[in-house]
Amino acid sequence: MADTPPATLRLRLDRSALAANWKALDAMSDTASAGAAVKADAYGLGVEHAVPALLEAGAREFFVAHWSEVASVARSVAPGSISVLHGPGSAADAAYARDMGVIPVINSLVQAKTWLESGGGPCHLMADSGINRLGLSLHEVGDPIVASLDIDMLMSHLASADEDSDLNSLQLERFRGVGAQVAHRRRSLANSAGIALGSRFHFDVTRPGLSLYGGVPRGELAGAIRQIAYPQAAVLQRRTIAPGESVGYNATFTAVRETELAVVSLGYADGFLRPRGPGGWFEWQGARLPILGKVSMDMIVVDAGAAPALREGDWLDVPFSLPEISASSGISQYELLTTLGRRFERTAI
């Protein structure tokens, strides 16, 4: 069978910037060491590139959410350094954890029982200190079943670390209280934003995700974090339209003069959602090409007037500074990353 022709979308990942981001977050974690949240395929960027780069930089704790995410990460790192945040919801999950040698995060008394019934062994424990998502409630941590767990890392998760909220110190205080009640070897509280809250929040291990990949959830991180993902899309066609002609679904753009267009191979199916259309642009050799009309599933039309030499097959740069695009589109930095589609060819640079 013939090879698949080259992709018309590519996502270039700057591995050295990713390593630099991990090192910066590790240094900001003071005496704690930074792990790495690599769930959701390293926030959409691709574990096959991200995990080896993070390992090389020095990361030794890798967090995924689903059991289905274990195998791809275990290709690059020792299973004992992989933790599964959703925990063992069934005996099958617990059996898989034992088989693979990965560490489950226990999130409830039921999960504690499931893990112990499968034979027990080292695990992490998530205590809920106020986000009311996963984790044991504060009144449950004294349960005898918790005392029979072999807890490596005692964890909790901050709800509002990206804001100056009273909830941050309240959660910190509650987490300290849990630490006094539950036997453990290490403690871990901070995500990316939590690292910027200062050393009281760092404990033994921090768990950055977003900022590894170029996200800036708090101003303090702005100077330290570099962009790592650079999307590019190919031009499929050039055309010229006359004054009065419109572009795209619902004809939301109408040309007032003869206008040079380029049709670009990128759309909302690739994660370029409609709120990024109005006011947005792509770049080619320093020229800005404004987006015209609505974003379609597989195509976006730009004004190519500033790039007379642009040809079909040429690659346009898609601006992807996460804090900037998030501010202008209203889409969160997390969503900008994790909705990047499967049609991008992911390459390391």
Q: Report the residue number, 171 or 191, with the smaller CB distance to ligand PLP.
A: 191
Q: Residue 87 interacts with ligand PLP (CB under 6 A)?
A: no
Nearer to ligand PLP, 47 or 210 (CB): 210
Establish if 21 lies at the interface with ligand PLP (CB under 6 A). no
* Closer by beta carbon to ligand PLP, 209 or else 293: 209
C-alpha to C-alpha distance for 69 and 80, rounded to whole angstroms: 14
* Catalytic member of 23, 39, 230, 294: 39
Burial 286-313 (b: 16+ CB within 10 A, else e): ebebebbbbbbebbbbbbbbbbeebeee
Asked whether position 129 contacts ligand PLP by CB under 6 A, the answer is no
Summary count for the chain: helices (H), strands (E)? 11, 19
**What's the DSSP call for residue 149?**
S
Interaction between residue 84 and ligand PLP (CB under 6 A):
no
Instruction: Could you list the beta-strand ranges (E) of 107-242.
Output: 122-126, 150-155, 186-188, 205-206, 229-241
Residue 294 annotated to the active site = no
The amino acid occupying position 260 is: E
Closer residue to ligand PLP in complex, CB, 193/300: 193
46 lies in the binding site for ligand PLP (CB under 6 A): no
Q: For this structure, is 39 an active site residue?
A: yes
- Confirm or reject binding of residue 158 to ligand PLP (CB under 6 A): no
Q: How far is the CB of 81 from ligand PLP (least distance, A)?
A: 15
Whose tokens are 């809250």? That residue is 197
Residue 138 CB, nearest approach to ligand PLP (Å): 17
Q: Quick check: 88 binds ligand PLP (CB under 6 A)?
A: no
Cβ within 8 Å of residue 63, ≥6 positions away:
35, 36, 37, 38, 39, 82, 83, 85, 207, 209
| Residue 346 makes contact with ligand PLP by CB under 6 A | no
Question: From the list 44, 209, 231, 293, which residue makes contact with ligand PLP (rule: CB under 6 A)?
Answer: 209
Helices 47-57 and 15-28: angle between axes, nearest 10 degrees: 50
User: Annotated active-site positions, please?
Assistant: 39, 249
Binding site for ligand PLP (CB under 6 A): 37, 39, 85, 157, 191-193, 207-210
